[in-house]
Amino acid sequence: MNLLQKKLAKYDIPQKAIAAGIYPYFRVIESDQDTEVVINGKKVLMFGSNAYLGLTNHPKIKEASIEAIKKYGSGCAGSRFLNGTLDIHVNLEKRLAEFVGKDDAITFPSGFQVNSGVLGCIPGREDYIVWDELNHASIIEGIRVSFSNKLKFRHNDMDSLEKQLKKCKADKIKLIVVDGVYSMEGDVAHLPEIVSLAKKYEASVMVDEAHSLGVFGKQGRGTCDHFGVTQDVNLIMGTFSKSLASIGGFIASDKDTINYLRHHTRTYIFSASCPPASLAAVDAALDIMMTEPERIENLWKLTNYALEGFRSMGCEIGNTSTPIIPLFVRNNELTFQIVRELFEMGIFVNPVVSPGVASEDTLIRFSLMATHKKEQLDLVLEAIRKLFKKYQLIQ
């Protein structure tokens, strides 16, 4: 083996977890993504999906994707700059911009590419990115490649944010970047307070709405709409892989900002464009979100029921107030063990362990879909109660 192979061969953590029978990743699903999935021929309740509105199997979305493939083929075979711009790209971008209350938008092949590309593109060397310590990895990646000054503030701590803003030179760009809903903790950014501080220090604001589109705001328009701060937020980012039942992402802003990003963002310029089926699925999902409000209503009924259930049994769930519910275990191996036992009981949930979070903050990420039934939720609440009591995580 050469030096590279020798170094990488030393990484054996997954092998040890497999040998211990607690490896929880890459479980192969053999069915559609629904409230029940099939793994190894066995039906399992799915409480680990980001499909908050349960749209991945909606017949209108499937039909729209099939029709797009019939018309345009399976892919674009090029970047948006060259041969990869279709009329459905342009039309969807106009619709997304209008949906989130901005002038214009551009789509990317993935949400990760949106954040890593946009933040790697703006601000510049003498400017500042001020970011929440629990931002998504895609945001952190964009910050990492940016030439700007990087200032991190404590999670949802407005005093810490203001302390960092005070360090910035008044005549330089200051971009505050936050998640609308934090993907692991499930809590919501304090957007009104963030906007207030941004105005005080002449800063700009970017909000990642990946886990809040389809959940918050009028017809699922996100946390910016929910808090009434859309016009005060400069950049609104969203993904297609959660409530919008597809793959890809977008950034929306004023026309000048989008024009600049369209001609400078490397992950946009040098990536093949979103395939037609993905775009058509998003367009159909937007139709459903606006014509079937009962989906969002049911999602919140289930969310409030689950939050009350977990709190009443004594689970530690932090500050979540969303369909993302962290069940803190605070031990890597025990987190894996509980996930394995739940799976054996026919329940799929996700472990979140270090280095994704600090080892003392390990948790089980429990998430809801609008299409879950109360009976399914009751079954899972009881199973978790039994296991958490068994391992003395609750009384």
What's the rounded Cα separation, in Å, for the pair 63 and 114?
27
Tokens for 277?
């089926």
Residue 155 appears among annotated catalytic residues = no
Which of the following is catalytic: 49, 116, 146, 183? 183
Q: Given the structure tokens 């971008």, which residue do they identify?
A: 93
DSSP character at residue 360: G
Residue 242 appears among annotated catalytic residues = yes
What's the rounded Cα separation, in Å, for the pair 385 and 133?
31
What's the rounded Cα separation, in Å, for the pair 209 and 253?
13
- Peptide bond before 323: cis, by omega within 30 degrees of 0? no
What's the rounded Cα separation, in Å, for the pair 179 and 194?
12
What's the rounded Cα separation, in Å, for the pair 48 and 184?
11
What's the rounded Cα separation, in Å, for the pair 172 and 223?
27
As a dihedral over the C-alpha atoms of residue 377, residue 380, residue 382, residue 388, rounded to 10 degrees, the angle is -130
What's the rounded Cα separation, in Å, for the pair 302 and 373?
8
Q: CA-CA distances (angstroms) from residue 100 to 107, 129, 136, 395?
A: 14, 23, 20, 44
What's the rounded Cα separation, in Å, for the pair 377 and 47?
9
- Output the CA angle 69-53-140, nearest 5 degrees: 85
Query: Closest Cα partner for 257 from 106, 115, 98, 135?
Result: 106
Q: Is the dihedral of CA 157, 212, 139, 228 positive or negative?
A: negative
Residue 183 appears among annotated catalytic residues = yes
Instruction: Return the number of other C-beta atoms located less than 10 Å from residue 246's C-beta.
Output: 26
Which of the following is catalytic: 136, 174, 211, 372? 211
Which of the following is catalytic: 204, 242, 253, 278? 242
User: 198 with 204: CB under 8 angstroms?
Assistant: yes
Active site residues: 183, 211, 242
